[in-house]
């Protein structure tokens, strides 16, 4: 059965507002066929969805440029209610990724500006940053944020850490980070069922509290020390699936924080991911792209 936006929001309404801060990456996803750029990036998206979908207390810590695109993202965070008190602004271009339509009408990433100012800088957390992060129940980051050296200190201060490994994490990275990660997320759409089972069990065996592997249209699988649970996708009239994965994990984290078990959290996550598919870009709020965006197509990706 196809769910509409009201049904999706109603299904999320019972989830208590979470307390979450995203730390790390932010970009603008520039849709070349629309000439619009939408705020995005895993850590930023999770903070935004936490606020927009669940009414949570949300913050974002990361590095932004000083161009008009960074100004736009910073303004959007203020507008939706995500605190940006610990954002660093650096002279230069904000990170941008470029999306085009292929001959089948599907969106694909075709270029980037190599992360803009984030390409040459790594976020280093100060004592003031750690004090700020400790004010949130959940700290979320990803494999694209280069925050691995900071995870032990974050976890030691009492915040629960969630980490998006995407499909790029090696076994060594999983082993090193798992003891500090409460919930880890993996993209497994390209993996077989047996490979997904092995990955989830390996992550938990390495010390991770829970591991969740998304499987695209096949749904998702969650693992913890005592159980394995599965859920399917929620069907919607999709507008844009760009942020669905980030919204999925936000839903899981919000449900878990509210006391839901593994199976219930997967179900809420599926609803949250579906709701994101009803929005343009990750969560809307575009800005005109223009020639100054296209001039930043520094790294081009070959067609698959």
Taking 70 as the threshold, does the pLDDT of residue 304 lie above it? Answer: no
Looking at residue 301, what is its pLDDT? 87
Looking at residue 298, what is its pLDDT? 87
Taking 90 as the threshold, does the pLDDT of residue 148 lie above it? Answer: yes
pLDDT band for position 6 (cuts 50, 70, 90): very high
Average pLDDT of the segment spanning 29-47: 97
Tell me if 137 sits within 8 A of 160, measured CB to CB. yes
Looking at residue 104, what is its pLDDT? 60
Taking 80 as the threshold, does the pLDDT of residue 282 lie above it? Answer: yes
Looking at residue 105, what is its pLDDT? 59
Looking at residue 108, what is its pLDDT? 87
**Of 13 and 105, more confident:** 13
Return d(Cα 2, Cα 236) in angstroms, integer: 5
DSSP-based three-state secondary structure for 96: strand
pLDDT band for position 302 (cuts 50, 70, 90): confident
Average pLDDT of the segment spanning 14-34: 97
Return d(Cα 181, Cα 172) in angstroms, integer: 14
Return d(Cα 242, Cα 204) in angstroms, integer: 28
DSSP-based three-state secondary structure for 282: coil
Average pLDDT of the segment spanning 32-43: 96
Average pLDDT of the segment spanning 215-225: 95
Secondary element (H or E) of residue 12 = helix 5-12
Phi-psi category of 284—alpha, beta or left, where left has phi over 0 and alpha has psi -120 to 50? left
Tell me if 63 sits within 8 A of 276, measured CB to CB. no
CA atoms within 13 A on the CB side of 281: 25
Average pLDDT of the segment spanning 5-31: 97
Percent over 70 (pLDDT), the chain: 98
How far the first Cα of the chain sits from its last, in Å, is: 32
Q: H helices of 55-185, where?
A: 68-80, 127-133, 151-156, 171-177
Report the chain's mean pLDDT, rounded to a whole number.
95
Taking 90 as the threshold, does the pLDDT of residue 183 lie above it? Answer: yes
- List, for residues 95-147, the tens digit of each pLDDT value: 999 999 776 656 789 999 999 999 989 999 999 999 999 999 999 999 989 89
Looking at residue 103, what is its pLDDT? 66
């Amino acid at each position: 059965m196809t769910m509409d936006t009201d049904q999706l929001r109603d299904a999320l309404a019972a989830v208590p507002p979470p307390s979450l801060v995203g730390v790390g990456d932010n970009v603008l996803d520039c849709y070349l066929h629309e000439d619009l750029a939408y705020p995005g990036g895993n850590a930023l998206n999770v903070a935004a969805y936490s606020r927009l979908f669940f009414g949570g207390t949300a913050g974002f810590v990361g590095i932004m440029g000083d161009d008009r695109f960074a100004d736009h993202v910073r303004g959007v965070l203020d507008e939706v209610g995500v605190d940006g008190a610990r954002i660093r602004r650096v002279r230069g271009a904000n990170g941008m990724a470029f999306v085009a339509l292929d001959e089948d009408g599907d969106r694909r990433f075709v270029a980037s500006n190599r992360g803009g100012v984030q390409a040459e800088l790594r976020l280093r957390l100060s004592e003031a940053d750690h004090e700020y992060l400790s004010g949130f129940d959940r700290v979320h980051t990803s494999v694209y944020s280069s925050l691995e050296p900071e995870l032990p200190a974050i976890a030691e201060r009492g915040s629960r850490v969630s980490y998006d490994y995407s499909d790029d994490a090696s076994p060594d990275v999983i082993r090193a980070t798992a003891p500090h990660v409460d919930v880890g997320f993996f993209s497994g759409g390209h993996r077989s069922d047996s490979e997904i089972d092995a990955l989830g069990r390996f992550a938990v065996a390495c010390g991770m509290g829970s591991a969740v592997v998304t499987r695209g249209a096949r749904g998702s699988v969650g693992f913890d020390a005592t159980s394995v649970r599965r859920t399917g996708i929620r069907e919607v009239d999709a507008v844009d699936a760009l942020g669905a994965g980030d919204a999925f994990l936000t839903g899981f984290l919000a449900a878990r924080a509210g006391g839901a078990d593994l199976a219930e959290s997967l179900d809420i996550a599926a609803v949250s991911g579906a709701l994101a598919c009803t929005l343009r870009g990750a969560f809307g709020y575009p800005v005109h792209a223009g020639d100054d965006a296209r001039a930043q197509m520094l790294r081009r990706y070959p067609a698959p």
